[in-house]
Amino acid sequence: MSSWTPTAPRPAPSNTVGFVAWARANLFATKLDTALTLLAFTLVVYVVEAIFGWAIIDASFTGDDRTACLKEVQGACWPFIEAKFGQFIYGRYPDAERWRVDLVFLSGLIGLIPMLMPNVGFKRANMIYLLGFYPIFAFIMLNGGMLGLATVDTTDWGGLLVTLVVAITGIVASLPLGILLALGRRSDLPIVRALCIGFIEIFRGVPLITVLFMASVMLPLFLPDGINFDKLVRCLIGVALFSSAYMAEVVRGGLQAIPKGQYEAAAALGLGYWKTTHLIILPQALKLVIPGIVNTFIGLFKDTTLVLIVGLFDLLGIVQLHFTDASWATPETHITGYVFAGAVFWLFCFAMSRYSIFMENHLSTDRTSS
């Protein structure tokens, strides 16, 4: 008895597979498409060639001062970055004490990486480490003055260190503050509600730079004689208040999306206001607005650059400061410095936005979309 063997399927017509077919469908589908493709192709080739030529072919890679970057056709001046790299990361933090900053960076990463990976356990212990132990540890290590560590004044902090300190403090402070403000805005108590609305609308209506001016010029006037904060701390307060107003609006969006039935079900179970909020409403609301929260974080991270206007030296500020160094004054120093700082900021922001997309998919319990 011979078994039935089906004929092998014929290959697809050659004009529907492979690169040619793909290009036909995606690049040259119509006359307009062909024109657009050619236009875009010219543009891309031009830009890529210019960037490649500037960053690699015409660039200098080694040298100890400006003479390395004064060729006839000069591209990027990478030795400038190489020579100033330590400054860009630590600012004027004393050389001998930089291991303390490294230790703080490292211990932060140790807590942060497992926190960001959804499959790793011990989330509660990790949270206590990150929010309870780590800030105190980081403060003692960076500021010094105890445990036999020399005090390093915040005026000597700078570079990426200040950028990260401002951004992380802002992020950590703005989320709980924002949640409280959002709850207050939806509260039944008229005075609390009015205060929250006023706070949110004022801070959202003015530019961050005026808030920072206020923190650096006006705050000292508001405090009694003799009491004065560090400039960095004043900026931290300004940034945290500013971003908490934006965070509040994002969280409010999530709160509004929770159906009334959820509140009623919680009330039927006998839960009070705080238990309802904490156990039923917030977990659902926050999950809905993860993209918005991360966007606020990204905005905050980019906004940290504004502290340079009130005289702190974050990454951009310190790069800007080193342009005045006469031994590196070349026509290409500025652009090289900006490209370097821009690349660092871009890396952080892009990573955050990709992580938010990943988390959104991971947390999605919506069965219809998957």
Whole-number minimum distance, CB 333 to another protein, in Å?
9
Which C-beta is closer to another protein: that of 125 or that of 218? Answer: 218
Identify the sign of the CA torsion 219, 225, 226, 227.
Answer: negative
The single residue among 6, 13, 121, 205 that binds another protein, judged by CB under 8 A, is 205
Which C-beta is closer to another protein: that of 134 or that of 246? Answer: 246
Residues in binding contact with another protein, number by CB under 8 A? 56
Q: Is 128 in the site for another protein (CB under 8 A)?
A: no
The single residue among 221, 268, 324, 365 that binds another protein, judged by CB under 8 A, is 221
The stretch among 6-14, 92-100, 167-175, 316-324 that binds another protein (CB under 8 A) is 316-324
In order, the DSSP letters of 119-180 are: T---HHHHHHIIIIIHHHHHHHHHH-SSTTPPP--GGGB-HHHHHHHHHHHHHHHHHHHHHH
Q: How far apart are CA 176 and CA 136, in angstroms?
A: 18
Tokens of 108: 């932060």
Whole-number minimum distance, CB 325 to another protein, in Å?
14
How far out from the chain centre does Cα 224 lie?
36
* Element housing 111 (H / E): helix 98-116
Whole-number minimum distance, CB 99 to another protein, in Å?
29
In order, the DSSP letters of 21-78 are: HHHHHHTSSSHHHHHHHHHHHHHHHHHHHHHHIIIIIS-B---SSGGGG--SS---BH
Q: What is the footprint of another protein within residues 254-313 (CB under 8 A)?
A: 298, 302-306, 308-309
The 10 Å CB-count burial string (b at 16+, else e) for 144-158 is beeeeeeebebeebb
Q: What is the footprint of another protein within residues 175-194 (CB under 8 A)?
A: 189-192
Q: Is 204 in the site for another protein (CB under 8 A)?
A: yes
Total Cβ atoms within 10 A of residue 275: 12
Whole-number minimum distance, CB 9 to another protein, in Å?
28
The stretch among 10-18, 175-183, 279-287, 329-337 that binds another protein (CB under 8 A) is 329-337
Q: How far apart are CA 255 and CA 89, in angstroms?
A: 40
Q: Are 335 and 80 in contact (CB under 8 A)?
A: no
Q: What Å distances lie between residue 299 and 231, 235, 277, 305, CA to CA?
A: 22, 16, 27, 11
The single residue among 45, 335, 357, 363 that binds another protein, judged by CB under 8 A, is 335
Identify the sign of the CA torsion 180, 181, 185, 191.
Answer: positive
Q: Is 19 in the site for another protein (CB under 8 A)?
A: no
Taking CB under 8 A as the rule, which mask of x and - marks residues 133-172 in contact with another protein?
A: ----------------------------------------
Q: Is 320 in the site for another protein (CB under 8 A)?
A: yes
Q: Is 43 in the site for another protein (CB under 8 A)?
A: yes
φ, ψ (nearest 5 deg) of residue 157 = -75, 155
Q: Is 74 in the site for another protein (CB under 8 A)?
A: no
Which C-beta is closer to another protein: that of 2 or that of 369? Answer: 369
Site for another protein, rule CB under 8 A: 26-27, 29, 33, 36-37, 40-41, 43-44, 189-192, 195, 201-202, 204-210, 213-214, 217-218, 220-225, 298, 302-306, 308-309, 316, 320, 323, 331, 334-335, 338, 341-342, 345-346, 349-350, 353
